[in-house]
């Protein structure tokens, strides 16, 4: 006699066994990982909500990581600013002592000028600080060293700026004059009487060159004009310069002109995005008014050798002028009248406040992000994770059910109609 079970009933039972076994595997996965499912299909009802939570959390963590990088840069910049502030403060203290003593004493002059040179070198090194291959004080030109003084020693500086025929720039405009080439201004005419005139076709291209700007001419038609000049007057199209050109030469277009400045970066502020809605600008560059005024004050003291017409001992008013600049470089306002006209506002004290505010803003933003990320991760866990006790109970139930199903299936397979006859 044949078996009671036929092919159709066998396939139905097998399907039921496979379904039970699948639930057992799912229960085993949940117990071993404490997760509901290895993919989104296993939590289809809440998969969209989970994706939204995960994307939001990832965006927040990305902002947090970027803020950590910016925080590191600002921390380094903050420490560097503090170091520069100390250099400026120490130099002002030394200049105080110099002014209170005999300002015509050779040893005193040598000492303050030596201190000025060393202070300039220190500031240059600090302003050329680089993090992760990027210069901190170069604006958007992060691959360009922002400060590169064109002298290599105190003697070299005093050769370039003898304090008489060639004086150190006394205004911010002249101090930070942008570099020009002959391509910018066209042909010029050298006059041995003491002027350099712009090409008539160009007109007033000299208008932006400030009094005190120092520039070098090289490759002129007449090599006698290849000199370093300082602007003493400017009509916009005609520069009065010292020393005078070596020869009269009209419409010379062969020369190269390099207007000298200590700053090689730019003035573009780098913007950092804190989150979807807020940004923070970091606009502190090596041409910041606090740094510029301090560097200018030190250069004014350093120019000219003792005993010469341009020496500090022969131009003692420079000490008071430089002292004023150092004061407004550290903190403003100062009593008295600015010696070189109105100055651009900006000092180390304000710089410290601004840097502290940005650091606090980054810290507060990231603390808020961490709290929000913790909340989101808990929400994600509530969707993804399984209660372990519940999962173990379910595993045991499925294992028992599967075992019973196999026994029942085996029993059905053995049953025959002969057993009922």
Instruction: Report, in angstroms and rounded to the nearest whole number, the Rg of the chain calculated over CA atoms.
Output: 39
- pLDDT tens per residue across span 241-263: 989 999 999 888 888 776 667 88
pLDDT > 50? residue 2: no
Q: Which residues pair with 216 in a beta bridge?
A: 228, 258
Least confident window among 41-45, 76-80, 247-251: 41-45
Least confident window among 11-15, 63-67, 214-218: 11-15
Read off the pTM. 0.72
Closest CA to 177 of 256, 292, 283, 297: 292
- The token duo for 232 is 């003493």
State the pLDDT at residue 1: 45
Closest CA to 255 of 228, 237, 230: 228
State the pLDDT at residue 250: 86
**CB neighbour list of residue 22: distance below 8 Å, 6 or more residues apart:** none
pLDDT > 90? residue 303: yes
User: 222: helix, coil or strand?
Assistant: coil
Percentage of the chain surpassing pLDDT 90? Answer: 41
Closest CA to 259 of 291, 225, 229: 229
Please state whether beta strands 228-234 and 130-131 pair in parallel, antiparallel, or not at all (unpaired). Answer: unpaired
**pLDDT interval class at 7 (50, 70, 90):** low
Q: Which fold has domain 60-174+264-366?
A: f41 fragment of flagellin, N-terminal domain (1.20.1330)
Concatenating the DSSP letter of every residue in 295-359 gives HHHHHHHH-S-TTSTTSGGG-THHHHHHHHHHHHHHSS--SS--BTB------HHHHHHHHHHHH
Closest CA to 105 of 355, 97, 92: 97
Q: Do 146 and 176 touch, CB atoms closer than 8 A? A: no
Distance in angstroms (rounded) separating the CA atoms of residues 296 and 293: 5
Distance in angstroms (rounded) separating the CA atoms of residues 89 and 96: 10
- Domain parsing of the chain, residue ranges: 60-174+264-366, 177-259
Distance in angstroms (rounded) separating the CA atoms of residues 159 and 142: 32
pLDDT > 90? residue 93: yes
């Amino acid at each position: 006699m044949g078996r009671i079970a036929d092919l159709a009933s066998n396939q139905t039972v097998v399907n039921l066994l496979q379904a039970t076994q699948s639930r057992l595997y799912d229960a085993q996965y949940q117990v071993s990982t404490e997760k509901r499912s290895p993919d989104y299909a296993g939590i289809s009802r809440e998969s969209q909500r989970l994706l939204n939570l995960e994307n939001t959390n990832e965006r927040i963590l990305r902002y947090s990581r970027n803020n950590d990088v910016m925080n590191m840069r600002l921390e380094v910049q903050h420490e560097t600013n503090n170091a520069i502030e100390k250099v400026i403060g120490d130099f002002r203290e030394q200049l105080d002592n110099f002014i209170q003593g005999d300002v015509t004493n050779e040893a005193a002059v040598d000492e303050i000028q030596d201190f000025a040179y060393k202070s300039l070198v220190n500031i240059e090194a600090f302003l050329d600080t680089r993090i992760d291959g990027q210069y901190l004080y170069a604006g958007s030109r992060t691959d360009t060293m922002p400060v590169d003084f064109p002298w290599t020693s105190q003697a070299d500086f005093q050769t370039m700026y003898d304090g008489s025929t060639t004086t150190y720039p006394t205004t911010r405009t002249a101090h930070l004059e942008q570099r020009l080439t002959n391509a910018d201004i066209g042909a010029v005419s050298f006059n041995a009487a003491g002027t350099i005139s712009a090409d008539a076709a160009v007109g007033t291209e000299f208008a932006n060159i400030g009094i005190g700007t120092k520039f070098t001419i090289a490759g002129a038609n007449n090599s006698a004009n290849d000199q370093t000049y300082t602007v003493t007057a400017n009509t916009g199209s005609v520069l009065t310069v010292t020393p005078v050109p070596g020869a009269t030469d009209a419409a010379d277009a062969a020369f190269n002109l390099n207007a000298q400045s200590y700053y090689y970066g730019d003035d573009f502020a780098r913007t950092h995005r804190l989150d979807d809605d807020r940004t923070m600008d970091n606009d502190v560059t090596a041409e910041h008014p606090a740094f510029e005024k301090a560097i200018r004050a030190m250069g004014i003291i350093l120019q000219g050798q003792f005993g010469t017409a341009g020496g500090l001992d022969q131009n003692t008013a420079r000490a008071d002028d430089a002292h004023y600049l150092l004061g407004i470089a550290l903190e403003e306002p100062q009593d008295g009248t600015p010696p070189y006209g109105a100055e651009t506002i900006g000092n180390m004290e304000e710089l410290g406040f601004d840097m502290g505010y940005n650091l606090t803003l980054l810290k507060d933003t990231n603390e808020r992000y961490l709290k929000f990320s913790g909340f989101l991760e808990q929400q994600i866990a509530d969707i993804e994770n399984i209660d372990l006790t519940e999962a173990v109970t379910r595993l045991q139930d499925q294992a028992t059910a599967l075992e019973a199903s196999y026994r029942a299936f085996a029993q059905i397979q053995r049953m025959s109609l002969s057993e009922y006859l």
